[in-house]
Amino acid sequence: MLMKLISRLHGKSIDASVVSLSPRGPVSSEIEALGVETRHLGVAIPLGLPWATVELAKIARRERPDVIQGWMYHGNLAAALARSFAGDHCRLCFGVRQSLQDLEREKPLTRQVIRVGRWLSHRADAIVYNSQVARRQHECFGYAVSSGTVIDNGFDTNLFRPDEAAYRSVRSDLGLNVDAPLIGLIARWHPMKSHDLFLKAASILATHRADVHFLLVGFGVTPDNPVFSRWLDVKPLAGRVHLLGERQDVARLTAALDVASCSSSWGEAFPNILGEAMSCGVPCVASDVGDVRRIIGDTGIVFPVGDSAAMTAAWRRMLDLSVQSRRDLGGAARRRIVENFSLDRVAYDFGVLYAKERQ
């Protein structure tokens, strides 16, 4: 999302540069291709805090930015440090990218960073949440109320669009009939994504529908991961679960789905997969986390968190629709994204925020 935002703002309403706490990753090259200088500190917060502080001080004093935008909890901590060296003119914006149902689900060090962020949030000029639920939860936890605002995730509706050719070619790649129903979950492997819940629901549905297949895509979503391997050769899922790992053609794969899914149990604020799928004209079935109900509206089905039977029932309702009815629902989903969650609209909102902070 940061890369997409920069693609709309850099060289127009702002001149951006990026400081990453992590080593180089796959998004680094995409950001640099936009002409944006990207520095990689390669440190762990808070263990690498002393060295990071020195480096952030050098960067802030040299760049003298008008606005420093933190991105996620550890990035907010680093942004607060950098701001202290950037001069009195510099404004500080926090970026909170997840919900906060249960602090105990976070890693021990992350819990401490969140607690420190609660204190530092009162020094921020703005705290940007990507969901209303996330804002309420963090403010109840003690994050500053007066500086909070919500700017949703945004989606490139030209990249993510209905694509009949993708619908057919992906099935050909997987060795499926062109009319085989395909249900997908596009998410990196992480406990909060609840892949186990998805697979449990899939095994229930597969006993009722001999034609349905399941597509899973994301970092760590591979046959050598024990979470998935134990399902692959067990009936009724044998031969019907397709694990593609990390892919670069996510828009194509998403457009090939009949139903997109989000099975997450916690942490999500605004799941990107939902906006991307809806933009492709694919109806969604999703767990009731973050702002999912607000995102989907009446274009999909929301089920209770952790309820595999309810997830299965929602899938069955979707697949029981005629092909045309499902496409009509997907068309309504796309219109909802175009009208409310386009990338251009979100970039505009960030541009207005930064202009206000620079005044």
DSSP-derived 3-state class of residue 62: helix
pLDDT of residue 7: 95
pLDDT of residue 49: 80
Residue that the structure tokens 């299965």 belong to = 312
DSSP string, 225-268: SHHHHHHHTSTTTTTTEEE--S-S-HHHHHHT-SEEEE---SS-
Q: What is the mean pLDDT of residues 216-225?
A: 96
Q: How confident is the model at residue 43 (pLDDT cuts 50, 70, 90)?
A: confident
Report which residue type is found at 337: I
Tell me if 184 sits within 8 A of 254, measured CB to CB: yes
Report which residue type is found at 28: S
> What architecture does CATH give domain 164-340?
3-Layer(aba) Sandwich (3.40)
DSSP string, 87-120: -TT-EEEEEE-S--S-GGGS-HHHHHHHHHHHHH
Least trusted range by pLDDT, from 52-56, 202-206, 276-280, 308-312: 52-56
Tell me if 215 sits within 8 A of 244, measured CB to CB: yes
Task: Give, as one character, the DSSP assignment of residue 342.
Answer: B
Does residue 184 surpass a pLDDT of 90?
A: yes
pLDDT of residue 47: 74
pLDDT of residue 26: 84
Q: How confident is the model at residue 94 (pLDDT cuts 50, 70, 90)?
A: very high
Q: What is the mean pLDDT of residues 71-80?
A: 95
What distance in Å separates the CA atoms of residue 236 and residue 231, rounded to the nearest whole number? 9
> In 3D, which of 342, 238, 320, 295 has the Cα closest to residue 99?
295
DSSP string, 295-333: HHTTSSEEE-TT-HHHHHHHHHHHHHS-HHHHHHHHHHH
Q: What is the mean pLDDT of residues 213-222?
A: 97
pLDDT of residue 202: 97
Q: What is the mean pLDDT of residues 21-26?
A: 90
Does residue 357 surpass a pLDDT of 80?
A: no
Question: Which CATH superfamily is 2-154+342-358 part of?
Answer: Glycogen Phosphorylase B; (3.40.50.2000)
pLDDT of residue 359: 64
Same fold for the pair 2-154+342-358 and 164-340: yes
Q: What is the pLDDT of residues 230-284, one digit of tens each?
A: 888 888 999 999 999 999 999 999 999 999 999 999 999 999 999 999 999 999 9
The domains of the chain are located at: 2-154+342-358, 164-340
What distance in Å separates the CA atoms of residue 278 and residue 156, rounded to the nearest whole number? 11
Quick one: what percent of the chain has pLDDT higher than 90?
90
Q: What is the pLDDT of residues 131-175, one digit of tens each?
A: 999 999 999 999 999 999 999 999 999 999 999 999 999 999 999
Report which residue type is found at 235: K
Q: What is the pLDDT of residues 304-346, one digit of tens each?
A: 999 999 999 999 999 999 999 999 999 999 999 999 999 999 9
Quick one: what percent of the chain has pLDDT higher than 70?
99
